[in-house]
Structure 1
């Protein structure tokens, strides 16, 4: 399964990117202060999205640190708390494979997730769940 999505534990370049964020686009220099004002309830929107996805799709957690993939059974044991998330480094960010969508959902810096997809309708399929989580999606 790993070779379908990753080369050397990096998502393959053939995947397109859709960004999922608290905002409807990139923050400009004059809006960067918003990053420091994110509240726990706002941050929790990302976990809400992951829970919604888990309720509809089989998902696999990717552990980049030890290069393993495990089926996500109990989503609440997988999701970090706000305090845990604020202290994590990039190697511990959430990365999830959603095989039925041929997609990877990866947490990144600055309260943004990247949905890696193959332009096969995945973005359109997930837009209602993104909206239900009070998040926004956009591409470059």
Structure 2
């Protein structure tokens, strides 16, 4: 399964990117202060999205540190707390494969996730769940 999505643990270049964020677009230089003002409640919106996804889709967690994947059964054991996420580095970012959508959801810096997809309707399918989580999605 890994080879379908990753080359050397990087998502394959053939995937398009949709950005999921607390904001409806990139923050400009005058808005960067908002990154320092994100509350735990706002951060929790990302976990809410993952919980909603888990109710509708089979998902696999990617562990970049060990180079393994496993089926996500118990989200409570998988999802980090606010403190864990704030103290963790990039190697601990959430990365999830959603096989039925042929997509990867990956946490990145600055309160942004990237949905890697193959322009197969995954973005349109997930927009209602993104909106229900009080998040925004956009592409470049």
Tell me if both proteins adopt one fold, taking TM over 0.5 as the criterion: yes
1:128 equivalent in structure 2: 128
Deviation at 1:76, TM superposition (A): 1.2
2:92 and 2:39 mapped to 1: Cα distance?
A: 21
Deviation at 1:29, TM superposition (A): 0.2
User: TM-score when scaled to structure 2?
Assistant: 1.00
1:101 equivalent in structure 2: 101
Deviation at 1:97, TM superposition (A): 0.1
1:44 and 1:76 mapped to 2: Cα distance?
A: 13
1:63 and 1:15 mapped to 2: Cα distance?
A: 20
CA deviation digits over 1:51-86, x for unaligned, max 9?
Answer: 000000000000000100000000111000000000
1:37 equivalent in structure 2: 37
> Which ranges of 4 or more aligned residues in structure 1 deviate by more than 3 Å?
none
1:64 and 2:77 aligned: no
Runs of at least 5 residues in structure 2 that lack an aligned partner in the other structure: none
SS in 1 for 2:119: coil
> Once superposed, what is the RMSD of the aligned Cα atoms?
0.3
2:117 equivalent in structure 1: 117
1:11 equivalent in structure 2: 11
User: TM-score when scaled to structure 1?
Assistant: 1.00
SS in 2 for 1:61: strand
CA deviation digits over 1:81-106, x for unaligned, max 9?
Answer: 00000001001100000000000000
Aligned length: 140
1:2 and 1:34 mapped to 2: Cα distance?
A: 36
